[in-house]
Amino acid sequence: MSLHPLAGLPVPPERIPNIPRLVSDYYVRQPDLNQPEQRVSFGTSGHRGSASDSRFNEAHILAIVQAVCEYRDTQGIDGPLMLGMDTHALSEAAWISAVEVLIANGVTVQAQAGRRPSPTPFISRAIIDWNRRESAKADGIIITPSHNPPEDGGLKYNPPHGGPAGSEVTRWIQDRANTLLQSDLEDLNRMPIARALRNELYQEVDFLGPYVTALSEVLNMDAIASSGLKLGVDPLGGASLDAWGPIADHYNLDLRNVNPALDASFSFMHIDSDGKIRMDCSSPYAMKGLISLKDEFDVAFGCDPDADRHGIVTRSSGLLNPNHYLAVAIGYLFQERPDWPADAAIGKTLVSSSMIDRVASSIGRKLAEVPVGFKWFVPGLRDGSFGFGGEESAGASFLRKDGSAWTTDKDGLLLCLLAAEICAVRGKDPGELYQDLTQEFGTPHYGRANAAASAEQRKALSSLNADDVTSAELAGEAITAKLTHAPGNGAAIGGLKVCTENGWFAARPSGTEDIYKIYAESFKSPDHLKQLQQEAQELVSSVIG
């Protein structure tokens, strides 16, 4: 994809979104259910869209939350629902809609005191902590479209295991929500917000304080504090904004917040590679502000608006590629956590770098490769059979030091602070440690590209069998594996992965666009990567037509 001419530049005034109009559209616009894109649709991270496109409006949220209430009834979930939100402009409006429906349905709601933003990892940790102690099970909703542009809203549901809901659960909620919309919300229970906030079922709690004090159970905070490291953080105007000051104060860290702005237009950002405002902490274009300050800190970091993703900036390397940081983090953690279960595995998505495979082999740990989506790590992080779960899109979490569960959803703050721990203990930043890995295992060259595909071709790709691929060679090497199911858990990957000794590609259809995505990696050269990408497209085309 070509680079937009504004990529990496400050947001020009004419590109700042009209927030009052956006919020008005949330209440005024009604979805046209004859348009498939305006119906409720749960992807890998919940329902997302813009109010101005009639994809994320009051009717959608009322229907989804009513469906969640009914789902809870079918499952006997009778504890509190932990309600979090990020700082997108539509999040506050959707939060109000959610509270109106939850309280009217007799659900106890726990929300951050002062109606402040509360990140995804706070909610996941709070659910797990509650369900360890109480018999009445808790679950949660986080209102966030992750790192999407300011015009978008989003909502995701986390069941009592604390992590992202699986496809069976989201399909049930999605289908019931669309049925409610088709009936013009005939079965909706709703209470005006002023009454709901006075109801005894509405409880303001502190998600932040317990998270901060518990960090010492999962990280070596003493090592960070005693090291004297100069740390920098850019919350990117997100829900982690309230957390960094208390963390620094509680643990006596030399930590400077370089961007305390809270602005729903996110006009302080730099334009992403495609010309959009996007709070993507893994993008060197969006993160240009923090990257420009890298020499002022021993290590710096940032999170996306709901703080489930991390971006690590070092003096040695600038913004680390997420794959590079995952490999460093895994190598470090499995050597520095002696109380983790001896058989705890390393969880990775099948499109993450094979550098992780080589690190896993070198430290004698089992590697569990799963399909794309953090939900696949939930069982392992919950029962301790996974010490670490991470995906190529800069999301990860890992166990407490004693081997028990911390979060079963992505935790960006945790991975940011881990970078500081690594610096403190190893005396090198993660970028330097990654260079050490390349000296030992070789230098991988990783890329992602898109290829056109019709709806029929995307459907064919998602239902391939390994036997459909008859090729014996790829980019000059013998094919060693043809995968349509993930080796870590046997789940269908919804596409194809083909491996050779020094490279691989994976092809997955888009759920919303007439394209499929090609991920590829070569341990030989950039030219070999290009050859892999070209032959991958030719191979896929020969199979799906």
CATH number at residue 102: 3.40.120.10
What average pLDDT does this structure show over 260-272?
96
User: What percentage of the chain has pLDDT greater than the value 70?
Assistant: 100
Q: Which residues contact 305 (CB under 8 A, 6 or more apart)?
A: 86, 87, 88, 144, 146, 147, 236, 237, 238, 239, 279
How big is the CA angle at 438 (ends 435 and 442), to the nearest 5 degrees?
A: 160
Q: Are residues 425 and 496 in the same domain?
A: no
Domain boundary among 422, 441, 460: 441
User: What percentage of the chain has pLDDT greater than the value 90?
Assistant: 94
pTM (2 d.p.): 0.96
Q: Looking up tokens 């895994």, which residue turns up?
A: 330
Q: What is the pLDDT of residue 466?
A: 87
How far from the centroid of its chain's Cα atoms is residue 202's Cα?
Answer: 28
CATH code of the domain covering residue 526: 3.30.310.50
Asked if the structure places residue 396 within a domain, the reply is: yes
Q: Using pLDDT thresholds of 50, 70 and 90, give the confidence band for residue 257.
A: very high
Q: Are residues 484 and 369 in the same domain?
A: no
C-alpha distances in Å from residue 489, one per residue of 277, 354, 368, 473, 498: 36, 18, 7, 26, 17
**Residue 44: pLDDT over 80:** no
Q: Are residues 377 and 389 in the same domain?
A: yes
- CA-nearest of 273, 518, 313, 524 to 423 is 313
Q: What is the pLDDT of residue 221?
A: 98
Q: What is the pLDDT of residue 371?
A: 94
Asked if the structure places residue 274 within a domain, the reply is: no
For residues 359 and 331, the answer to whether their CB atoms sit within 8 Å is yes
Q: Using pLDDT thresholds of 50, 70 and 90, give the confidence band for residue 427.
A: very high
Asked if the structure places residue 267 within a domain, the reply is: no
Distance CA 266, CA 248 (A): 25
For residues 286 and 272, the answer to whether their CB atoms sit within 8 Å is yes
Q: What is the pLDDT of residue 536?
A: 94
The domain of 491 spans 445-544
What average pLDDT does this structure show over 146-164?
97
Asked if the structure places residue 91 within a domain, the reply is: yes
Q: What is the pLDDT of residues 329-358, one digit of tens each?
A: 999 999 999 999 999 999 999 999 999 999
What average pLDDT does this structure show over 21-42?
96
Q: What is the pLDDT of residue 262?
A: 93
Q: Using pLDDT thresholds of 50, 70 and 90, give the confidence band for residue 34.
A: very high
Indicate the helix (H) or strand (E) that contains 157.
strand 152-158
What average pLDDT does this structure show over 466-494?
93
* 89 SS3 class: helix
- CA-nearest of 101, 99, 142 to 118 is 142
471 is catalytic: no
What average pLDDT does this structure show over 359-368?
97
For residues 507 and 496, the answer to whether their CB atoms sit within 8 Å is yes
Q: Are residues 243 and 199 in the same domain?
A: no
Asked if the structure places residue 419 within a domain, the reply is: yes
Q: Are residues 518 and 394 in the same domain?
A: no
Q: What is the pLDDT of residue 513?
A: 73
Domain boundary among 391, 415, 441: 441
Mean residue pLDDT across the chain = 96
Q: What is the pLDDT of residue 1?
A: 57
**Residue 78: pLDDT over 90:** yes
**Residue 311: pLDDT over 90:** yes
**What's phi and psi for 42, nearest 5 deg?**
-90, 115
Q: Which residues contact 342 (CB under 8 A, 6 or more apart)?
A: none
C-alpha distances in Å from residue 420, one per residue of 118, 400, 439, 509: 23, 17, 23, 37
Distance CA 246, CA 97 (A): 30
Q: Are residues 236 and 138 in the same domain?
A: no
Q: Are residues 423 and 515 in the same domain?
A: no
Q: Are residues 464 and 505 in the same domain?
A: yes
Q: Which of 118, 146, 354, 522 is catalytic?
A: 146
Q: Using pLDDT thresholds of 50, 70 and 90, give the confidence band for residue 294.
A: very high
Asked if the structure places residue 275 within a domain, the reply is: no
Q: Three-state SS across 454-496?
A: CHHHHHHHHCCCHHHCCCCEECCEECCEEEEECCCCCCEEEEE
For residues 386 and 333, the answer to whether their CB atoms sit within 8 Å is no
Domain count, the chain: 3
Strands 202-205 and 81-85: unpaired
Q: Looking up tokens 């237009």, which residue turns up?
A: 265
Q: Are residues 414 and 523 in the same domain?
A: no
Q: What is the pLDDT of residue 133?
A: 96
Question: What's the one-letter identity of residue 442?
Answer: G
Domain boundary among 419, 441, 463: 441
Q: Which residues contact 400 (CB under 8 A, 6 or more apart)?
A: 217, 218, 406
Question: What's the one-letter identity of residue 369?
Answer: E
Q: Are residues 43 and 129 in the same domain?
A: yes
C-alpha distances in Å from residue 301, one per residue of 147, 159, 240, 314, 332: 15, 29, 12, 8, 18
Indicate the helix (H) or strand (E) that contains 17.
none
Measure CA of the first residue to CA of the last residue in the chain; give whole Å: 23
Q: What is the pLDDT of residues 486-518, one digit of tens each?
A: 999 999 999 999 999 999 999 999 876 788 999
Asked if the structure places residue 4 within a domain, the reply is: no
Q: Are residues 108 and 238 in the same domain?
A: no
Asked if the structure places residue 144 within a domain, the reply is: yes
Burial of 382 (0-12, 13-18, 19+ CB in 10 A): middle
Q: Are residues 411 and 462 in the same domain?
A: no
